[in-house]
Amino acid sequence: MVSLPTSELIWLGLTLVAAGVVMGLFAGLFGVGGGAIVIPVLYEVFRIAGVPDDVRMPLCVGTSLAIIVPTSISSFRSHNARGAVDLDVLRRWAPPVVIGVALASVVARHAPEQLFKAVFVGIAGFSAFRLLFAPDGWRFADTLPGTLLMSVYGLIIGALSALMGIGGGQIANLFMTFHGRSIHQAIATSSGLGAVIAVPGVLGYIYAGWPRAAEFPEVAALQFPFALGYVSLIGTLLVVPTSTLVAPLGARLAHKLTKRQLEVGFGLFLLAVSLRFLVSLAIG
């Protein structure tokens, strides 16, 4: 593993703290766990630190899921205090979401890095197109579906979110707005999925990454910085405090913006994320 000078370590630490501020703001503002913000930052931090290419992206995803737990709880509490969360939807989604996360954790144990990036690009890009260019009338129905289809949606949300290292907000927002729910309610309700996805996701990525470090000495850099499997403890500890403190500010801002302002803001954010990883896929 590359040995970094003290000045560069300080710079990396400050970068992670700054990422926590932005992550917390977006978590509250858009009902997302903030993983789409912190993963690109973690990716560059781990690259500079010498983490091998074939484990760098899953290490980012696992660490992002660990960061999402307290951030999403803070965001959910702020939205729920305003009465904007549909708790019935959360109860219906929770069991299939957890199953989806478990399945994705098994996949993560064997998947190449490109899969994680491709999932990121596909979901974020489609969500951005929907928010920026689709008319309000573009929806599947005016109400949410029955138990069977909601369970299928939950499996998809859990599996894709665990592969992307996100709290499920952008995918759940998509499904809810496709079925006639307002963007404000979709964002508020989606904020509650963060911990449901992240807690089993963290355990899954510890499980997925542990044998890689044990079986292949050449990926010993996976243990930067003091990782459990695919979860970096230092990365988590530097980002969590600021993101948790800032999330309520984002939630308050969300309720001051119009429906279209939220849609355009969220769409541009997702477009930037998808383009970032599309470039990464193209250059290998």
pLDDT string in tens for the chain (284-residue length): 445 567 766 777 787 788 788 777 876 776 665 676 777 778 877 777 777 777 888 888 888 888 888 877 877 888 888 888 889 999 999 999 999 999 988 887 777 878 887 887 887 788 788 778 865 556 777 888 898 999 999 999 999 888 877 777 778 887 888 888 887 788 888 888 887 888 898 998 888 887 765 555 544 444 455 678 888 888 888 888 888 888 788 878 877 888 778 778 878 877 887 887 788 777 76
Q: Tokens representing 160?
A: 């894709």
**E-strand stretches of the chain:** 227-228, 231-232
CA distance 170 to 178: 12
95 cis-preceded (ω within 30 degrees of 0): no
DSSP state of 190: H
Tell me the residue type at 216.
F
Q: Is 84 inside any structural domain?
A: yes
Q: Is 1 inside any structural domain?
A: no
215 φ, ψ to 5°?
-90, -25
Q: What is this structure's pTM?
A: 0.74
C-beta separation of 193 from 72 below 8 A:
yes
Q: Is 31 inside any structural domain?
A: yes
Distances (CA, A) of 246 to 21, 52, 71, 169, 252: 6, 32, 9, 17, 10
From 160, 165, 154, 163, select the one nearest 69 (Cα to Cα): 165
Q: Tokens representing 148?
A: 């069977």
Which pLDDT does position 92 carry in this prediction? Answer: 93
From 138, 142, 153, 246, select the one nearest 193 (Cα to Cα): 153
Domain that holds residue 52: 6-283
Q: What is the CB neighbour count within 10 angstroms for residue 74?
A: 23
- Determine the 3-state secondary structure of 32 from DSSP: coil
Which pLDDT does position 155 carry in this prediction? Answer: 94
Residues 6 or more apart whose Cβ sits within 8 Å of residue 227: 59, 63, 209, 213, 233
Which pLDDT does position 218 carry in this prediction? Answer: 47
Buried residues in 119-133 as b, exposed as e (16+ CB within 10 A): bbbebbbebbebbee
Q: Is 46 inside any structural domain?
A: yes
The tally of domains found in the chain comes to: 1
